[in-house]
Chains A and B, each alone.
Chain A
Amino acid sequence: MVELLFGYFAIVIITSALFGVTRKNLVHSLLWILLMFVHLGGLYLLLNAEFLAMVQIIVYAGAILVMFLFVVFLLNLKEETKEPVFIHSWQGRIYGVLILLFFALFGAFTYKKTHTGSFTIELIDKQGHTKTIGTALFNEYLFPFLILGFILLVPLIGVGIVAVRRKANGTS
């Protein structure tokens, strides 16, 4: 069952990513990428990471993709959709695919497991995934978490400054 689900998710992720990067129309390609993000959330569920699956769907599919779609709708991109996209020579495509396959197989067959930690599946099952990840985050990684808050604050201020200054100048 898990193998079947993994095969389904992997095939949908790869095909939707390929369709997403080859479409001419930006809205179409963003919708394909949305499909990819949702299936990545499903893949995290297979790996016993429920909290990350929810975060993936809320943040990526719910926030980041919507931001991209807003920008595409705000700008007038009629000429861009008529442009030819991607590499046109067959040699370029074949080289690209060969490099890709080589790295995928290299990564798949050269890895050896070296290390086993203490967070077993039974522990996570008993405690709940969110509690486990929260305990580790707020004990062991408290300082990086605070830094992360500042990293999210800085873009907020920067975007506000850029937008306000633009309005005050009166030029567009």
Chain B
Amino acid sequence: MVPLSFYLALSATLFFIGAFSFLTRRNLIMMFISIEIMLNSVNISLVAFSHYMQDIRGQILALFVIAIAGGAVAVGLIILVLAYRNKKTLKLEEFKLLREE
């Protein structure tokens, strides 16, 4: 039986990998991927709590998180494609203005 602490440590490590990458990468696609990593790390801890506390609600919350991540990615990627059409790049420094100049 793996103790709950190990799952929590894994979740925290993964969350900080995601947060670190979100703060240091300057590419919009990689920033989206970092958000997905962070959402997944939260899901690990939700499912682990649900298993160890013998309560099904954590898994339902994890299911909601997965569904909302799907919707968020769809909206984010269409914004990203339109931004690329305006600027021809995905570097974050270029996006000081979101409208066309």
Contacts and interface: CB of A to CB of B under 8 A. Distances in A.
Nearest to B17: A17
Nearest to B52: A113
A51 B66 CA distance: 13
Contacts of A133: 56, 59-60, 63
Contacts of A100: 12-13, 16-17, 20
A158 B75 contact: yes
Given A40-B40, A67-B74, A85-B25, A104 B85 contact: no
A152 B68 CA distance: 7
- Interface bin, chain A: 35 or more
B27 A80 contact: yes
A109 B48 CA distance: 15
Nearest to A109: B5
A30 B73 CA distance: 14
Nearest to A10: B10
A54 to B, nearest CB: 11
Contact of B33 (A48, A68, A107, A152): A68
Interface in A44-89: 44, 46-49, 51-52, 55-56, 59-60, 63-64, 67-68, 71-72, 74-75, 77, 79-80, 83, 85-87
A156 B70 CA distance: 11
Given A103-B16, A133-B60, A68 B53 contact: no
Contacts of A49: 47, 50-51, 59
B30 A21 contact: yes
A133 to B, nearest CB: 6
29 contacts: A21-B21, A21-B30, A26-B30, A29-B30, A29-B33, A43-B44, A47-B48, A47-B50, A49-B59, A59-B66, A72-B29, A75-B81, A92-B24, A96-B16, A96-B24, A103-B12, A107-B11, A108-B8, A111-B4, A116-B54, A117-B56, A117-B57, A121-B54, A133-B59, A151-B68, A152-B67, A152-B71, A155-B72, A156-B74
Given A13-B10, A47-B50, A162-B82, 13 more contacts: A6-B2, A14-B17, A26-B27, A26-B29, A49-B59, A75-B90, A87-B24, A107-B12, A108-B12, A119-B56, A133-B56, A155-B71, A163-B78
